Structure 1
Amino acid sequence: MTKEINKTLFIATFLLSCRVLSRSIEDAILVGLNNHCQERSLTFVEAAFYSTTNNKHLVIL
């Protein structure tokens, strides 16, 4: 789920199973996200990150 305000794309919900990581799915999603932003002249992407024991290795991102 997303919303667009003042050239910013806000990602409200994004879930990705650990089973698909490292299979280039995340790269394809980022390419699609970039294309979406370019088509709509959006210059920023904002998303919240909620740290849990299952995703603590992603904190470095």
Structure 2
Amino acid sequence: MWDAKRQFIWLAAGLSLGTFIAYSDAHTEDGTFVPRFFVFMESLVLGIIALLFYLYSRKKQ
């Protein structure tokens, strides 16, 4: 089971890094921002973080 401090650190780091990468990739070659692609990438980041939190927070029996 993770302690609260470690959960907060991983959540903050994952969200900030994931959002930065999603924002960087959401620009086309001519510099136009594509919000639809950003939302798609951000939902993938949030899904991966939620899955990892579920897997690592399960109690071992």
Give the TM-score taking structure 2 as reference length: 0.42
Of the two, which has the highest radius of gyration? 2
Greater fraction of residues in helix: 2
As a proportion of its length, which structure holds more strand?
1
Q: TM-score, normalised by structure 1?
A: 0.42
